[in-house]
Amino acid sequence: MEKRTLGRTGLAVSRLGVGLAEIGELELEEARRAAEVLNAALDNGINFFDTAACYGVSEELIGRTIARRRSEFVLATKAGHVVDGYTGEPWTAQTISDSIDRSLRRMRTDYLDLVQLHTCSVAILERGEVIDALQRAREAGKTRFIGYSGDNEPALWAVESGLFDTLQTSFNLVDQNARHQLFGPARAQNMGIIDKRPIANGAWGAQAAPSDYAAAYYERAKAIEALGPLPEGPTAGGVPVHRIWLALGFALAHDAVDTCIVGTGDPEHMRQNIAWVETLPPVAQEIVTELHDRFDQLTREQSWPQLS
């Protein structure tokens, strides 16, 4: 698995990472299934795992399944929300601090590689309290690096502040605003860039919106596809490549992106994602350029924002 340096962190991370939101939807009793997914990733060279305090039981399942392999992977989580009966207020220093301590206990580790603020507003960032809490956690050795996860104006504020080591933001073939607004400033700060939702929640090429969550992505995909067939696509042995690989391959075609996090609770889906990344040719530059042009045209016409 190809690895990239995650900006100024110096961490070597796999181009394909794992998002743990879907793992978090499993039951704790399904630890065996989670173990199969996560160990398949590790066994095939994936070493970047991204979770959050609010992703259900994901942190507990990491602790139960792969904590013994802690030295083999980069572990990122997010904090800020009030979850699981916690009685504090969201977006306070105390909530951030308590969330980090809880994450350490749940994942059975004595350090985190990256803690990210989980999509808070510009007003919260300007107040500074939650940033101070992250910095204190870093000074205490609880996390090695700190980051911001989010989109639009708050993401730009976080980038331009120079206070964060990484940016996690939405980028895919139907949501390309980060290409114009965030990638350049983030790279200028030598921030690592983590791509969330690189496959657009499975909306590209789908017969219907895969979920309510993916409805906006699906509508955009239909609008882009309505502009006509794409240039001849990548093939594997003469067989057209799966629509999900087209989406993932588009995201991976951008040098600014260090790692693309894809979530699944299905071991077979994990193995398929790995096989695509390891064996298929890159998406042709002609297709990437055409998708750029179509997105830019429709954004001018319809004022598409970055979707959070």
**Residue 79's domain is classified under what CATH number?**
3.20.20.100
Burial bucket for residue 29 (CB in 10 Å: 0-12, 13-18, 19+)? exposed
- Measure the CA–CA gap between 202 and 210, rounded to whole angstroms: 7
Quote the pLDDT of residue 234.
Answer: 60
The verdict on residue 139 lying in a domain is yes
Quote the pLDDT of residue 252.
Answer: 95
Total tally of structural domains belonging to the chain: 1
Quote the pLDDT of residue 129.
Answer: 96
The verdict on residue 307 lying in a domain is no
pLDDT in tens, 219-237: 999 999 999 988 876 665 5
Burial bucket for residue 280 (CB in 10 Å: 0-12, 13-18, 19+)? middle
Three-state DSSP class for 240?
strand
Average pLDDT score over residue span 213-221: 93
* Predicted structure pTM score: 0.94
Return the structure tokens found at 156: 């730009």
The verdict on residue 308 lying in a domain is no
pLDDT in tens, 135-157: 999 999 999 999 999 999 999 99
Residues of the chain above pLDDT 70, percent: 97
Q: Tell me which residue of 56, 14, 5, 62 sits closest to 38, measured CA to CA.
A: 62
Rounded to 10°, the helix 243-252/267-279 angle is: 60
pLDDT in tens, 46-61: 999 999 998 888 999 9
Can you give the residue range of the structural domain that contains 194? 3-302
Average pLDDT score over residue span 178-198: 97
